Amino acid sequence: MDALSAETKKASLPEILRVFWDAIEPQQWAMWTSIAAYIIATILPLLAPLYYKAFFDVVSSGAVRASVVPELIHFIVIVLVLNAGGWLSFRTGLYILDNLETGVMSRLRENAYNYLLGHSYGFFLNNFAGALVQRIGRLSRSFERLYDTLIFNILPLAINVVGAIVIIWLQSPFIALAMLIWVIVTMAGNYAFSLWKLKYDRRSAAADSATTGYLADAIANHPNIISFTGVPYESSGFLDVSRKQARTQRIAWDLSSILDGTQAALIVVIEFILFYYGIKLWARGAITVGTFVLIQVYLIGIAQQLWGFSRVVRTIYEGFADSEEMVSIMHAPHEVQDAPGAQPLKLEKGEITLRDVSFAFGKQQPVLSHVSLTVAPGEKVALIGPSGAGKSTLVRLILRLYNLEDGKILVDGQDIQKVGQESLREKISLVPQDPVLFHRTLMENIRYGRRDATDEEVRAAAKLAHCDDFIDGLPQGYDTYVGERGIKLSGGERQRVAIARAILKNAPILILDEATSSLDSHSEALIQDALSQLMKGRTTIVIAHRLSTIRKMDRIIVIRHGSIVEEGTHEGLLAQPQSLYKHLWDLQAGGFIKDK
Ligand code: ATP
């Protein structure tokens, strides 16, 4: 289970319907016409048995055969017209329905996707990508299933039952009453049984998810399976989940068979009862042969509709449960929002000020406490400190990836909580610790820094970031696809792509979060030149563990346990014999973690 399930409020039925309606609204006409078409398509054939009845009444009346032929032909022509009208209406409805459902499903996907993208950085850290993808797919598919069920099951069932019972009532109230009781008993029984059976269906669905999850995890971990000789172990693990799925599925299917069997027996019984009393009524002259035909035709029609009723109940429950998962995400407010009337950031100098900033993730220990810091326009500041000290969190707060709880962050004197988020992020180039790439070409990935850049500009940025060193060696060069999350590139290659993006973005503030940590010393030295060029005239914050890379920074800030403990230049901090910086520097320079 992902964190989301615990954090987001479950969406209510009206909220789910509202999300569906928003997607239907642009094609309302299609919805109403498809419903009207299917109502006509159900009513017209429902009237046909009346003419069969008349037909058989004439046939069995004992009249001279030749004399009744025109009348019989008249009846079958009416039946033909009714069925043809039904067919035409059904086909028209189907055409409109295809149009409606594909349109609505696509809008549901788009609405869900667009809303999802507005969620915060933290939201995506807390949720599995696969689960989110699945939810968007399920939302649109559940609409299709629910709408199909309404049109192809609920609507015809309601019309057939009401229509048939009213028509039979006019012939024989007794038989109509018997049919009504049968329908009510079957539907109520079916409904109760389906609800009771839902837990077995859910267990079967959960076992299916477990099998899928096991498969996905094992396939993703294939290198581990091979290198730790885990094939037999994984095979037996899979056997367990697969067998469990088979067991739960079998129970659910057996229960369905029991229901089907009971319904089939009920139909046999009701048929016998109706005919038994039908014979008695016929003997008394209360009904005709035609009425027998009428009852039989309606009985078969209703039985067919009722047959799938338990599936209808299950589909409705499952359809709403599936859509609820995504709708709850669509109703969860975006965690990081622009303040009402937020104006774009006006950046002139590039000064960054943190005033008494404190921050914690949820109810955990504070990550940052009372941090105050001013980075002057064009100043180059390095943040260093032990792992987990809060350095990356601090720069993420400057980008407003999280909402600030205590204190203020100002850029050129403007509170970042009050300016438009996009305008803030436009002014900052970030090279993250572990860059993630799109499964698109290298050209597209680098161009993401500035999407209107020309191929030449992309190549120039890539050259500065020394990307061409590896891109030129690829058979497809810049057109190479990099794999999911950039998996086909090494860590150092991905970092160079991220640096090229930042070069292309050319923003006035630069944040490098261990931007060269995956590079070998030679490549790092080369890229440091490019980065020094890039830093010129820009306010820069660099996070680094390799202290040799930050010696030339204007100021070094040492963070420990979420607080600033030292600050100064490289020389100044080294001159303090007890400083943490000197201790770390001595460790690295002394050969324990030698850099050059
Ligand atoms: P490193 O040098 O290893 O990158 P850092 O100084 O950049 O470390 P941060 O990444 O800022 O450290 O993390 C600070 C603390 O906050 C760590 O204890 C980390 O476990 C915690 N933390 C970071 N992100 C989250 C999160 N999304 N949810 C909960 N805790 C988090």
> Is ligand 1 within 6 A of the CB of residue 387?
yes
Minimal-distance CA residue to ligand 1 atom 9: 390
> Is ligand 1 within 6 A of the CB of residue 392?
yes
Pocket test for ligand 1, best of 123, 391, 547, 563 (most atoms within 8 A of CB): 391
Task: Count the neighbouring beta carbons within 10 Å of the beta carbon of residue 370.
Answer: 15
- pLDDT exceeds 90 at position 303: no
pLDDT band (50, 70, 90) for residue 7: low
Give the Cα separation of 232 and 225 in Å (integer).
Answer: 9
Minimal-distance CA residue to ligand 1 atom 17: 388
CA-closest candidate to residue 46, choices 84, 83, 94:
83
> Is ligand 1 within 6 A of the CB of residue 227?
no
The dihedral region occupied by 172, where left means phi > 0, alpha psi between -120 and 50, and beta the remainder, is beta
Please report the pLDDT score of residue 3 as a whole number.
42
CA-closest candidate to residue 379, choices 340, 360, 353:
353
Region of poorest pLDDT, from 97-101, 181-185, 290-294, 381-385: 290-294
57-69 pLDDT per residue, tens: 888 877 777 788 8
- The total number of residues written for the chain in this structure: 596
Minimal-distance CA residue to ligand 1 atom 10: 392
Minimal-distance CA residue to ligand 1 atom 20: 388
Distance in Å from the first CA to the final CA of the chain: 46
Ligand 1 centre to CA of 559 (Å) is: 13
Measured from the CA of 122, which atom of ligand 1 is nearest?
27
Please report the pLDDT score of residue 239 as a whole number.
95
Ligand 1 centre to CA of 367 (Å) is: 7
Q: Count the alpha carbons within 13 Å of 303 in the hemisphere toward its beta carbon.
A: 17
Arithmetic mean of pLDDT, 393-398: 93
CA-closest candidate to residue 448, choices 488, 513, 504:
504
Give the Cα separation of 394 and 384 in Å (integer).
Answer: 12
Please report the pLDDT score of residue 399 as a whole number.
93
For residue 331, the SS3 value is: helix
> Is ligand 1 within 6 A of the CB of residue 396?
no
Q: Which pair of structure tokens corresponds to residue 203?
A: 């267990």
Minimal-distance CA residue to ligand 1 atom 26: 361
Buried b (16+ CB within 10 A) or exposed e, 465-497: bbbbebbeeeeeebebbbeeebeebeebbbbbb
Pocket test for ligand 1, best of 361, 511, 516 (most atoms within 8 A of CB): 361
Arithmetic mean of pLDDT, 512-534: 78
Please report the pLDDT score of residue 483 as a whole number.
82
Minimal-distance CA residue to ligand 1 atom 4: 387
- pLDDT exceeds 50 at position 96: yes
139-179 pLDDT per residue, tens: 999 999 999 999 999 999 899 889 989 988 988 888 889 88
> Is ligand 1 within 6 A of the CB of residue 367?
yes
